[in-house]
Structures are given as structure tokens and as C-alpha cells.
Amino acid sequence: MTAINFAVIGYGGMGSYHVHNIMPNENERIHVVGTYDVSGERQKISSQHNHKIYTSLEEVLLDETIEAVLIATPNDSHKELAIQALQAGKHVVCEKPVAMNVEELDAILKVAKETGQTFMVHQNRRWDPDFLITRELYKNQQIGDLFQIESRVQGANGIPGDWRHELKHGGGMLLDWGVHLLDQLLFLVDSRIEKVSADLSYILGDEVDDGFITYIIFENGVRAIIEVGTTNYTKLPRWYLKGTQGTAIIHDWDLSGEMVIESGKKDIQAPKPIQAGVGLTKTMAPPSEEATETVSLPQAFAEYDPFYKNFYNVVRNQAEPVVKNEEVRKVMVLIEEIFKAVKR
């Protein structure tokens, strides 16, 4: 097995996370030779890890020992960097969001096609354990047919960092977290989208959105609410999933949660009316005790290879990419639709 020699372009938060936390899991397949970052400070930190320090992009691209680059720079620089790297004969792993819009992505994909180099986007949240549980429920119907998917991430710390506050760098939460949640949704639901409505929030007063809500209706009847917030001092569950025979909650990335499912018992008593506020209701009363049972969430595993193992096999063995460029494109099209659907 000959490892793929990588140079990392952008050794910031995520670039260094790849180098120290993700790539080492595949150390037989992926070898980091060096890094290039426009920040001298980041270069200095990288040099402490015995990386070769490239002083320009050209130096990286002229290095014949480098087969692939990781692009982990702000979003507005992905297109140019990816095109230059592909034209220099390098394979490319690119951080999400792949680009600022569909037009930029198409320009990259055109060059990838012309050069025959591999171009793969790091949609890493396809491997998130909470997402894999949702996927298991969707595929194996432990709560019946899943007809409503609510997927949320909610923080209370505003938008982090610097460039994420600026439109010109592709800041804002729809491009940042939205691209993850929408990628998960489209990877899960294999159906055409019928309708999209959305609203972006600007509570923090930035020029970019600090959160959004979108409601998506698929042709197969599945409904999805996707929500990202950065001013949520207490939050809703990461996933709330409604099926025809039960409801599942996954509270957080710690995978706490449960499923309440129909017990299937016969001779179930009708729910009794309850006092609700100053009124009475039977509709909103809990189901009678024997009608439902509460069970643990199922375990779930990805039946596809981890990201870099897959990348290696795509490059060396013509394997199918787990993250396909046409899927990434569909997500970018949806993001553009959401921006269009919004009335500020």
C-alpha cells in the first residue's frame, strides 16, 4: 500500500484538525508532507510538528512528491485553489461548503472532469453517530414510516471567528452549518424536493445570516424542518423524528434520547381527558399507559468506509466516492433555493 502524499492548504482550525485528528486514523493510506498557510503564525505552529513549510501555493503545486491537497481555507478561496490544484495534476479534498454557489462549483467540476483528478468534498457529518441513528430509523422503520424529520443545531455563542461574519468570504450559518444538515437530509431522503420555504435570521446584526429555518417537502411525502440558531440559550433536541408508529428524540451528540412506539397491545383504553391549563382536552392527553412503550434508540454504524479510506480507494482503486459530486451539487442548488425563498 502506497500512502497518498498530502499538502494541506490552510492550517487553521479545520486544517489542523484534519492533520492531527482525522488523517492519522488512516496513516497507512494518508501521509501529510507539509502545509501552506498565508498566516506566518499558523506556519510557525505547523513547523513545530515537523511538517515541510511551503511558502507559496506555487511551491506546493510544483512539488512532484505531492499527489493531493486538502483545501481548508475560508469558503471564498475554495474555487480558485481547487482549480489551480487540479490543473497542476493534484487530487483535491475540499472542505465544505464546497464553494460560494453552484456556478463556482460547476467551474471546479469542469476542471476535475478535464484533468481526470479526484475532487471530493469533506461532508464529514455523514458519519455522525446521531445522523447514523436517524438513517437507521429511516431505513429500517423502527418507528414506522418516517414522515417528519426535524434536524436542529442550536448554540448561544453567536457566529465564531472573523471571516464567518462576512458575505464576501461566504460567511453565515446557512453556508456553514446549513450545508451539513442539508447534506445529511438529501443523503437520507431519496426523493425529489417539491417545495421549499425558509427564513434567515439576522438577530446579531451581522451582514450574514446567524441562523435559519427551512421547511422542505419531498415528493414522497416526507417533511423536514431544518433549523440552525446561534442565540439559543437552551435548545431543542438535535433530532425529533415522527413515524407512523412512534416518535424518536435524539437530544444531542451524546446520543441521549429514546423512542416511544406503539405497544401493539390489544384492548387499549381510550385516553382520558386531562386538565390542560384552564381547559380540558382528550386530543392532547398522553396515550393510555398500555398503548405505548419507551425503548432505547437503536445502535447504528456506517456501512460505508470512513472519509479518507474512501478517498484513498477512489484514487487508487477507482472505488465509488461516498460523497459524490452530484450530491454536493444538489445541496448547493438547494442552498441557492433557500436564499431565494427568503424574504428579508
Q: Are 95 and 71 in contact (CB under 8 A)?
A: yes
Number of amino acids touching ligand NAD (CB under 6 A): 23
Would you say 124 or 292 has its CB closer to ligand NAD? 124
Residues 54-73 that bind ligand NAD (CB under 6 A): 72-73
In the chain, the amino acid numbered 257 is G
Is 315 among the residues that bind ligand NAD (CB under 6 A)?
no
* Residue 34 burial by Cβ neighbours in a 10 Å radius (0-12, 13-18, 19+): buried
Is 93 among the residues that bind ligand NAD (CB under 6 A)?
no
Is 74 among the residues that bind ligand NAD (CB under 6 A)?
yes
Cα-Cα-Cα-Cα dihedral sign, residues 261, 267, 268, 271: positive
Among 91, 96, 126, 169, binds ligand NAD (CB under 6 A): 96
Q: Which residue's CB atom is positioned nearest to ligand NAD?
A: 12
Among 4, 8, 10, 112, binds ligand NAD (CB under 6 A): 10
Among 30, 61, 77, 86, binds ligand NAD (CB under 6 A): 77
Distances (CA, A) of 160 to 13, 176, 317: 11, 11, 39
Site string for ligand NAD, 162-201 (x = CB under 6 A): --------------x-------------------------
Do strands 193-201 and 4-9 pair parallel, antiparallel, or not at all (unpaired)? unpaired
| Of 130, 124, 59, nearest in space to 311 by CA | 124
Stretch that binds ligand NAD, among 36-44, 126-134, 276-284, 300-308 (CB under 6 A): 36-44
Would you say 36 or 119 has its CB closer to ligand NAD? 36
Among 26, 37, 104, 183, binds ligand NAD (CB under 6 A): 37
- Give the up-direction half-sphere exposure of residue 148: CA atoms within 13 A in the CB hemisphere: 11
Q: Are 121 and 325 in contact (CB under 8 A)?
A: yes
Stretch that binds ligand NAD, among 31-39, 59-67, 110-118, 323-331 (CB under 6 A): 31-39
Q: Cα separation of 54 and 34, whole Å? A: 7
Is 42 among the residues that bind ligand NAD (CB under 6 A)?
yes
Least separation in angstroms between residue 57's CB and ligand NAD is 6
Stretch that binds ligand NAD, among 8-16, 131-139, 228-236, 274-282 (CB under 6 A): 8-16
Q: What is the grid cell recorded at 329?
A: 451539487
* Secondary structure of 149-165 as H, E, C letters: EEEEEECCCCCCCCHHH
Is 124 among the residues that bind ligand NAD (CB under 6 A)?
yes
Least separation in angstroms between residue 175's CB and ligand NAD is 8
- Give the up-direction half-sphere exposure of residue 124: CA atoms within 13 A in the CB hemisphere: 15
| List of residues 6+ apart from 75 with CB closer than 8 A | 97, 99, 100, 169, 170, 171, 175
Distances (CA, A) of 304 to 33, 96, 125, 308, 317: 27, 20, 13, 11, 15
Query: Where on the chain is the footprint of ligand NAD (CB under 6 A)?
Result: 9-15, 36-39, 42, 72-75, 77, 95-96, 122, 124, 161, 176
